[in-house]
Structure 1
């Protein structure tokens, strides 16, 4: 285990330069460059970033440099620091590419919307360091938890879902249940998650994306091929319309067609304000899924497929 010694920086120009925060106009998240350090906009309601030069000679030095830049804060007057002034970084450990950052107790005093942005900004900054696998936050040595008291654990850039093609810089939080396939591929198993997703993305879209990404819990298995692309996801009058590309129709996974369909349906019905799900492939609903399963009619939840 290697411990990075963090030096809390004074906010002077000399320290700014040592932090490696390069000069240049700040940009919005959607125009992100390869090496950047994140900060907040003037209203402290969304993420922005500024160019950053990583001078580290190894992973630990690079992480240390990014954290110093985050602590120092942005150079542009129109930007604000991620961390509030009273929050301090008490330590940082790196074990096999997994980073754990420990904060002072004042971390818990941040309002939830800002706290989510703080995590998103720090995690997305550090995930730019080669060989970093994930980032975990602790406060006085204890892992941070979600609204249900569950440990949030290691985070990556994918923890904070973005809708491709849109400029995203604010996040929402949801505690959801996702359904993945059991070992035999014929039943479903529940997997609880706390997710943070783009505020401009409907929760229904975020849920389908998570199902495509696959399970996190050992013993659960994917129900949707990872190459499936979302065309659209909308919610109207209690029906969620899920439009996927043609790779969904192929169903190349070794799970039953029913497991695939109801993993999506059960997840959406349980987590969102919908009663049924209407599938389509490239906009066409009068099509058949694997083994002749018609997608023409909406599907309602079937919890009889769920096993412990």
Structure 2
């Protein structure tokens, strides 16, 4: 009972920290010495109060992505000249190693990372990701702590992050969690159509509804009459919406076949679910950033796909 109470307290603290972060990240152009400057590459710092992030104009040095990563990480340890900010790296927190492959940067932090309080950890993560993704060749950043993948307070791997994962909101009436009613499409019992499943999900308001949908599809159905549509080992590398198109980037795990499920149903379980829930009219799927792909040698992913109502149970609605 004592353990459960402590765990609940930690979760509440984590939620409060997320709310503080989303409210406090600055939205203005890069600044040096607290004065407005031109928008460009920036270094992100923690403000003096430790409640949010600030940023200063910063020239990223190096002739390659690898050299720039090395330079940025070195400079992030340093304290800024402006007394209003401080390094996002507290105490003994260091990056022991890193690897860059196909736009995905893996950072390996030392064991001390696990000792950070929730507020400092979230601020460090936001500062590092938002600084590093400015480098050409770095699309997503993943954290490891003490050799293990970083997990959230539920024990789930956080995975690859982009600047968009850290919502930059302002205002006094922010809610850290909210409830969504989703209509998701999995494979029906006979395996020949898409079966609709309505679920209510409580999620962090920092997350887009499109990302929530994709994560639920990967997680799999809750109804016994439905089957999973996407390989469970699939990892979502990034997702964004622009001009009515939802761009979804998976790792290689997506290319694995789901036993007894046609490639068409796998692809359109995602497309139909995303279009149903969000603001996008089409979905562009990529694998490791590449769209010149034929899923299972059948479905052409080179162009955005529209919802296919004919594949849903009951046909066209």
Return the TM-score normalized by structure 2.
Answer: 0.53
The 1:43/1:171 distance shift into structure 2, 3 A limit, reads farther
Structure 1 spans left out of the alignment, 5+ residues: 1-21, 198-202, 230-251, 260-289, 292-308
Correspondence 1:221 to 2:270: yes
Number of aligned residue pairs: 207
Q: Deviations over 1:46-67 (max 9, x none)?
A: 0111111012111101111211
Name the SS of the counterpart of 1:72 in structure 2. coil
User: What value does the CA root-mean-square deviation take over the aligned residues?
Assistant: 4.3
1:37 corresponds to which residue?
A: 43
Q: Deviations over 1:82-108 (max 9, x none)?
A: 011221221111122211111121111
2:288 corresponds to which residue?
A: none
Determine the C-alpha separation between the residues in 2 that align with 1:33 and 1:171: 29
The 1:159/1:174 distance shift into structure 2, 3 A limit, reads farther
Determine the C-alpha separation between the residues in 1 that align with 2:175 and 2:58: 23
Q: Deviations over 1:243-295 (max 9, x none)?
A: xxxxxxxxx52248999xxxxxxxxxxxxxxxxxxxxxxxxxxxxxx95xxxx
Correspondence 1:86 to 2:92: yes
CA drift at 1:43? 0.4
Q: Is the 8 A contact 1:27 1:50 kept in 2?
A: no
Q: How does 1:126-145 map to 2 (within 5 A)?
A: 126-145=132-151
Question: Structure 2 residue aligned with 1:96, among 89, 96, 102?
Answer: 102
Name the SS of the counterpart of 1:102 in structure 2. strand
The 1:57/1:171 distance shift into structure 2, 3 A limit, reads farther
CA drift at 1:110? 1.4
Q: Is the 8 A contact 1:24 1:50 kept in 2?
A: yes
2:32 corresponds to which residue?
A: 24
CA drift at 1:130? 0.9
Correspondence 1:254 to 2:308: yes
Name the SS of the counterpart of 1:61 in structure 2. helix
Return the TM-score normalized by structure 1.
Answer: 0.54
Determine the C-alpha separation between the residues in 1 that align with 2:278 and 2:181: 22
Determine the C-alpha separation between the residues in 1 that align with 2:50 and 2:194: 46
Q: Is the 8 A contact 2:179 2:202 kept in 1?
A: yes
Question: Structure 2 residue aligned with 1:187, among 165, 175, 196?
Answer: 196
Name the SS of the counterpart of 1:118 in structure 2. helix
CA drift at 1:37? 0.8
Q: How does 1:137-286 map to 2 (within 5 A)?
A: 137-162=143-168, 166=170, 172=176, 180-182=184-186, 184-188=193-197, 197=206, 206-207=208-209, 210-211=212-213, 213=246, 218=254, 219=266, 220-222=269-271, 223-225=273-275, 228=279, 253-255=307-309
The 1:180/1:72 distance shift into structure 2, 3 A limit, reads farther
Question: Structure 1 residue aligned with 2:71, among 65, 73, 76?
Answer: 65
Q: Is the 8 A contact 1:40 1:82 kept in 2?
A: yes
Q: How does 1:49-64 map to 2 (within 5 A)?
A: 49-64=55-70
